[in-house]
Every structure is written in C-alpha cells, then in structure tokens.
Amino acid sequence: MRKFRCKRICRPKVTIKDLDRRPPSYADRWAPMLAGNGCSGCMACAEVCPTGAIAFNNSGQILFKHDACIACRACTDLCEPGVLILGPGIGGAVTRSELSYVGSTDKASADEPAIRPLKTPGPSKTIKIFAKSMHVREVDCGSCNACELEIAAISNPVYDAERFGISFVASPRHADVLFVTGSVTRQMELALNKTMAATPSPKLVVAVGACACSGGLFGNTQFAGAGVDASIKVDIYIPGCPPSPRAILSSIRGLQRGTITRSEHDHSR
C-alpha cells in the first residue's frame, strides 16, 4: 500500500510561503470607496447604511468609517452612478480615527482611490518583545461568533499562525494579547475588566471586528456598548464583519514586525 503523504495533498509549504504575497482576495475587498468623480451627492448611501458608516460633510465630501462598516453592500447596490465600489478595507490601525477617511467626490479616480487617513499614528514605540512569541486569549464580549470562526481559522494549516509563534491559551494569566470580539454587552463588561486585570503586563488588546471597533450593528443600545474602547484601552483595531483570517494575521504580523506601531497605552493600572 502506498505511503500516505499529506504534503502531496494539501501542499502546506506552497500555501504558507505564498500567503503574504498573494493579491487581495474577494473577501479582502469589502469596504466601500469612491472610484470616479461621478458622485451626484444624493446621499442615498448614507441614508441606507444601517451603522452610520457613511456620512457627508458640508463640503460635499464623503466620510467612510471602516470601523463601523459591516460590509452589507447596501450602499454599493444602491449607488445609481455606480461610483461607489468595494475596495480593500483598512487592514488594521492603532487608532479608530485611522479607520476613517474622506473620499472627495471631486478628485477620486478609479486609478488612484482617494484613501486619505484623517490622522497618522502619533509618537509610539514598537513592541519587539512579542516578535517571536505571542500567546493569545480570545474574549467573546457578545459577538455573533463569526469573528471567532475567523480567529480560529488563523490556526489552521493554511494560515498556520504558530509558524510566527502565535498560539492560543486558555487562561488570561498565560496571555500576552487579548483578542476581544463583540460590542461588549452590559453583562460582559465586568468579565472583560476582570480578564484584563488577570492578564500580566506587558499586554496588548486587539479589537477584532466591527462590533469590537465601534459597536457595529448590535452596539450602542441599552444592552451593549460602543465597542471595546468604551471599557478598556485598545492597541489595535481590526475592522471587518468579520475580518478575514488574512487581515487578522497580517495586522498581528505587522505588529510583530514593527510596521504597525501601537499607541503608548498604559495597561498597568
């Protein structure tokens, strides 16, 4: 009987090596953006958006808030001139304001999408201590569990987060990083604060998904808050509903490499 060779079936080496170099997939193109200058300013997109992720200012510019976008595509479907298209979302950011940008209705072009972050990172220091080893505790604060599925996927053989030293642990006492999902329901506020207190310093907090970044579709009510940063300080925001495993992994890798720098939050209180 022929010897079983799993490498010949799933070819993990090829997949893993190519992961960082692959162009964005369909799942990575989820956020609305302007392509072309044919926007009529009808504001239909802003009116249909269920989470207020699109707004117009007095100058007629569109403000896209990727922290709140749930990728429902209602805005792009409704856009009559067809200038609102789906583009790559902002992968990860150290402040919420970096997840918003102004799309000028005058200057946008299909060749050069008008992605202009409102704010650049301020003084920050690169976290190098987690560069080769990072233990993660996931905290579900009221998510629909789709974010959990994508987080779990970074450990599968395709994304293989363990090759970067990223592994999941069962207790916050063993964790370096907290992945927090959900808009933080009232019942989970205390649990989140206790988990934070049980995690030894230095530590990082990563808000994963639109709910965790802004409250998303289920937040901002009497039962749930406006995201993780309403309860504890957040170091990295990863938008999307849910963010793809690639977006999650590349943001964490950016942190490890130092290409994403974190705000200097004091978690030692």
- Residues forming the site for ligand SF4 (CB under 6 A): 32, 48-51, 53-54, 69-75, 143-144, 146-147, 181-182, 209-211, 216-217, 241-242
Give the helix, strand, coil percentages of the chain, each rounded to 5: 30, 20, 50
Q: How far is the CB of 67 from ligand SF4 (least distance, A)?
A: 10
Nearer to ligand SF4, 32 or 245 (CB): 32
Enter the DSSP assignment of 67.
T
Q: How far is the CB of 167 from ligand SF4 (least distance, A)?
A: 22
Nearer to ligand SF4, 181 or 244 (CB): 181
Nearer to ligand SF4, 94 or 184 (CB): 184
How far is 191 from 135, CA to CA, in rounded Å? 20
Q: How far is the CB of 185 from ligand SF4 (least distance, A)?
A: 11
Q: How far is the CB of 140 from ligand SF4 (least distance, A)?
A: 8
What token pair was written down for 115? 């992605």
The half-sphere exposure of 5 on its side-chain side, counting CA atoms within 13 A, is: 6
How far is 251 from 266, CA to CA, in rounded Å? 21
What token pair was written down for 161? 């987060």
- Write the single-letter amino acid at 235: D
Q: How far is the CB of 182 from ligand SF4 (least distance, A)?
A: 6
Nearer to ligand SF4, 32 or 172 (CB): 32
Nearer to ligand SF4, 241 or 255 (CB): 241
Number of H helices, E strands in the chain: 8, 12
Contacts of 1 (CB under 8 A, 6+ apart): none
